[in-house]
């Protein structure tokens, strides 16, 4: 388990560590203990960076295996107790929430800023000087980064380059291009005036087939046969397609209600049995009749539907889908205009909505209902395919990053070259700037420049190239004014990243620099870790499942949330 190193060496569980707990760190400096813990974490995920980065195999306590090279997913699932290391996890979470991509880079740079800070502290620099220097360096770095923004036209081919860069790892060139194309199609669909509305996108991971079977479907796709959702009364007489369908949404169970405490009925005689049966039947008939009377052709129910009701409805030609997830019920409300009612006795024709077409489809082994309204083109669904559940889930994670990247790029229309080019340019600019700083901050700003260069160096290492040679070659190119030069990971050569189509949103890079510096500075400011009473309310469950694209309620409407986990 990846966290073992942390737990065994640097992070004694359930105990506040002191400098002495960390191997090889002298007792005197509590800073160094914190830095070491944070750096071990950063080093752990470093090898996953970039298209040649390696995967990590994560084993959860219940034995579930996850293969991923997504920094955020890895950190999310690691058991990390050391408070200083946890702060780096927070960097990743913040990066993920605000930019959706760049998590590994943010953590790797934060770790590197702590490494250079260690050297500076050993040379006798005061923490305050380092903090101020890092702060000033970031301001300057952001300025330089702004100058790296390309003047590329914002057409689909630029968007596909962005998507291909975000979809790195795992796939060959063709696979990346294929997925990038699908992602751009979906993002463009959900875009209005530069704003991509994630509410209009549904992603479904369907096991089976290859990723080339991944398809984009106009309309809202609802699973109808997973453990959570089931078509309960397809009946051979029910059509596969409902045109001009009337849709009803019910937010409760379709069953016989039993008041609590009256759950058992004692039946003493055949007459009572018959009474009871007819009582049951009448309730079932009431449910079915109310649905039929509303004019519905299809009913989606948030909970279970008792079997007899399914048969009654099927007999009337009504398709009943049970256990539709609440968020999907909300999407159905938006797509069809129906309002979900708490019970069938509240259902009126006014509560129903319409869909131009509802089609039952089977993809792989999965039964689906595709709800589409041609007139409104409000919703699109991406059906991700792959050989095993793990593969499809990872594809989904990677594509989520991709959607955020497209969203940010479309919002700002600002991109910078990737492959270590932007970082090398920033480091180069910072060193030039540092020369004009008359005091000790000059050294700190130079240290910051060194730290940023961890990105091209790590990319080189993961590609099997010498990090020092690569760095020197990139520095030379940038010195000669080739400011878009990064590393081509197929050859190891310095290459123009714009020509190679390796580009990233400016917003992602900007966020990386600010969150990495903030985290490093916070840790440099901390000179001791003391136990404090826990505030229960602040305890969060960090064991997130694969995230859903959901809007966060405040601040960053485009932020990724993991609230639909598991
Ligand atoms: P993060 O979690 O930080 O997004 P990734 O594993 O996605 O980490 O790697 C992102 C880094 O990989 C960026 O620096 C990006 O520029 C670089 N990268 C992506 N594709 C390529 C490529 N084809 N050639 C060189 N570098 C690439
Ligand atoms: Mg990425």
Ligand 1 within 6 A of 168 CB? yes
- Indicate which ligand has the atom closest to the C-alpha of 491: 1
Q: What whole-number distance in Å separates Cα of residue 320 and Cα of residue 301?
A: 8
- Indicate which ligand has the atom closest to the C-alpha of 423: 1
Q: Which of 106, 172, 502, 516 to mutate to test the pocket of ligand 1 (most atoms within 8 A of CB)?
A: 502
Closest residue to atom 19 of ligand 1, CA basis? 165
| pTM metric for this prediction | 0.80
CA angle, corner 140, sides to 135 and 143, nearest 5?
Answer: 135
User: What pLDDT was estimated at residue 236?
Assistant: 60
Q: Which of 100, 168, 402, 500 to mutate to test the pocket of ligand 1 (most atoms within 8 A of CB)?
A: 168
Q: What whole-number distance in Å separates Cα of residue 476 and Cα of residue 194?
A: 38
The SS3 assignment for 208 reads strand
Ligand 1 within 6 A of 504 CB? yes
The beta strand positions in 441-536, using DSSP E, are 485-487, 494-496, 503-505
CA 54 to centroid of ligand 1, rounded, Å: 12
Tell which residue, 332, 303, 305, has the closest CA to residue 233. Answer: 305
Q: What whole-number distance in Å separates Cα of residue 108 and Cα of residue 104?
A: 6
Q: What whole-number distance in Å separates Cα of residue 266 and Cα of residue 497?
A: 77
Q: Tell how strand 415-417 and strand 503-505 pair up.
A: antiparallel
The token pair at 198 is 């994630």
Ligand 1 within 6 A of 219 CB? no
Ligand 1 within 6 A of 494 CB? no
CA 42 to centroid of ligand 2, rounded, Å: 16
User: What pLDDT was estimated at residue 531?
Assistant: 64
Q: Tell how strand 353-363 and strand 220-223 pair up.
A: unpaired
DSSP character string of 361-418: EEETTEEEEEEE-TTT---EEEEEEESSHHHHHHHHHHHHHHHHHHHHHHHH--EEET
Annotated catalytic residues are 70, 103-104, 401
CA 504 to centroid of ligand 1, rounded, Å: 9
Closest residue to atom 4 of ligand 1, CA basis? 102
Mean pLDDT, 10 residues at a time, over the chain (566 residues)?
38 39 52 84 90 80 76 80 86 88 94 95 94 97 97 91 86 88 93 90 89 88 63 64 94 68 63 77 89 94 86 89 90 92 92 93 86 80 88 85 92 96 98 95 97 97 96 98 96 96 96 95 80 56 39 32 31
Q: Which of 165, 465, 513 to mutate to test the pocket of ligand 1 (most atoms within 8 A of CB)?
A: 165
- Indicate which ligand has the atom closest to the C-alpha of 169: 1
Ligand 1 within 6 A of 53 CB? yes
Ligand 1 within 6 A of 71 CB? yes
User: What pLDDT was estimated at residue 535?
Assistant: 60
- Indicate which ligand has the atom closest to the C-alpha of 495: 1
CA 309 to centroid of ligand 2, rounded, Å: 48
CA 102 to centroid of ligand 2, rounded, Å: 5
Q: Which of 47, 49, 174, 176 to mutate to test the pocket of ligand 1 (most atoms within 8 A of CB)?
A: 49
Ligand 1 within 6 A of 76 CB? no
The beta strand positions in 424-554, using DSSP E, are 485-487, 494-496, 503-505
Closest residue to atom 11 of ligand 1, CA basis? 50
Q: What whole-number distance in Å separates Cα of residue 85 and Cα of residue 78?
A: 11
CB 127 within 8 A of CB 29: no
Residue 381: Cβ-neighbour burial (10 angstroms; 0-12, 13-18, 19+): buried
Q: What whole-number distance in Å separates Cα of residue 466 and Cα of residue 457?
A: 8
């Amino acid at each position: 388990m990846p966290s073992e190193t942390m737990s065994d060496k640097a992070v004694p569980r359930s105990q506040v560590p002191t400098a002495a707990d960390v191997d090889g760190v002298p007792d005197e400096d509590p800073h160094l203990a914190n830095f070491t813990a944070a750096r071990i974490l950063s080093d752990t995920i470093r090898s996953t960076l970039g298209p040649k980065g390696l995967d990590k195999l994560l084993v959860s306590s219940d034995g579930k295996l996850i293969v991923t090279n997504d920094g955020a997913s890895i950190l999310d699932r690691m058991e990390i107790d050391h408070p200083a290391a946890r702060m780096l996890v927070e960097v990743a979470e913040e990066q993920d929430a605000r930019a959706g991509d760049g998590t590994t880079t943010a953590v790797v740079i934060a770790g590197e800023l702590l490494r250079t800070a260690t050297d500076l502290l050993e040379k006798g620099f005061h923490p305050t000087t380092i903090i101020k220097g890092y702060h000033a360096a970031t301001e300057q770095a952001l300025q330089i980064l702004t100058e790296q923004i390309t003047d590329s036209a914002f057409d689909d081919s630029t968007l596909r380059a962005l998507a291909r860069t975000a979809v790195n790892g795992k796939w060959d060139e063709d696979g990346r291009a294929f997925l990038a194309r699908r992602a751009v199609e979906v993002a463009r669909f959900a875009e209005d005036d530069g704003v991509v509305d994630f509410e209009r996108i549904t992603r479904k991971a369907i096991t089976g087939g290859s990723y080339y079977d991944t398809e984009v479907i106009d309309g809202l796709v609802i699973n109808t046969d997973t453990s959570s959702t089931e078509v309960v009364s397809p009946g051979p007489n029910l059509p596969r397609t409902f045109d001009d369908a009337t849709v009803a949404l019910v937010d409760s169970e379709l069953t016989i209600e039993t008041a609590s405490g009256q759950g058992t009925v004692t039946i003493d005689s055949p007459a009572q049995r018959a009474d009871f049966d007819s009582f049951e039947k009448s309730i079932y008939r009431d449910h079915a009749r109310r649905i039929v009377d509303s004019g519905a052709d299809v009913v989606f129910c948030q909970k279970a539907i008792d079997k007899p009701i399914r048969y009654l409805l099927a007999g009337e030609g009504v398709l009943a889908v049970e256990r539709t997830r609440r968020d999907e019920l909300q999407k159905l409300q938006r797509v069809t205009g129906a309002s979900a009612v708490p019970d069938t006795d509240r259902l009126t024709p006014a509560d129903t909505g319409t869909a131009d077409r509802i089609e039952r489809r089977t993809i792989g082994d999965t039964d689906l209902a595709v709800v589409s309204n041609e007139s409104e083109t409000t919703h699109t669904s991406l059906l991700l395919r792959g050989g095993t559940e793990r593969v499809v889930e990872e594809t989904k994670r990677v594509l989520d990053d991709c959607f955020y990247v497209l969203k940010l790029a479309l919002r700002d229309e600002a991109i910078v070259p990737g492959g270590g080019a932007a970082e090398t340019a920033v480091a180069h600019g910072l060193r030039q700037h540092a020369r004009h700083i008359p005091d000790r901050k000059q050294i700190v700003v130079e240290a910051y420049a060194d730290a940023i260069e961890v990105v091209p160096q790590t990319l080189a290492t993961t590609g099997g190239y010498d990090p020092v040679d690569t760095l020197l070659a990139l520095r030379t190119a940038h010195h000669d004014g080739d400011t878009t030069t990064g590393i081509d990971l197929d050859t190891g050569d310095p290459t123009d990243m714009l020509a190679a189509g390796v580009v990233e949103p400016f917003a992602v890079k900007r966020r990386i620099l600010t969150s990495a510096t903030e985290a490093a500075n916070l840790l440099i400011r901390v000179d001791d870790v003391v136990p404090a009473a826990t505030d229960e309310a602040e305890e969060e469950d960090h064991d997130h499942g694969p995230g859903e694209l959901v809007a966060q309620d405040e601040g960053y409407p485009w932020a990724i949330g993991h609230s639909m986990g598991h």
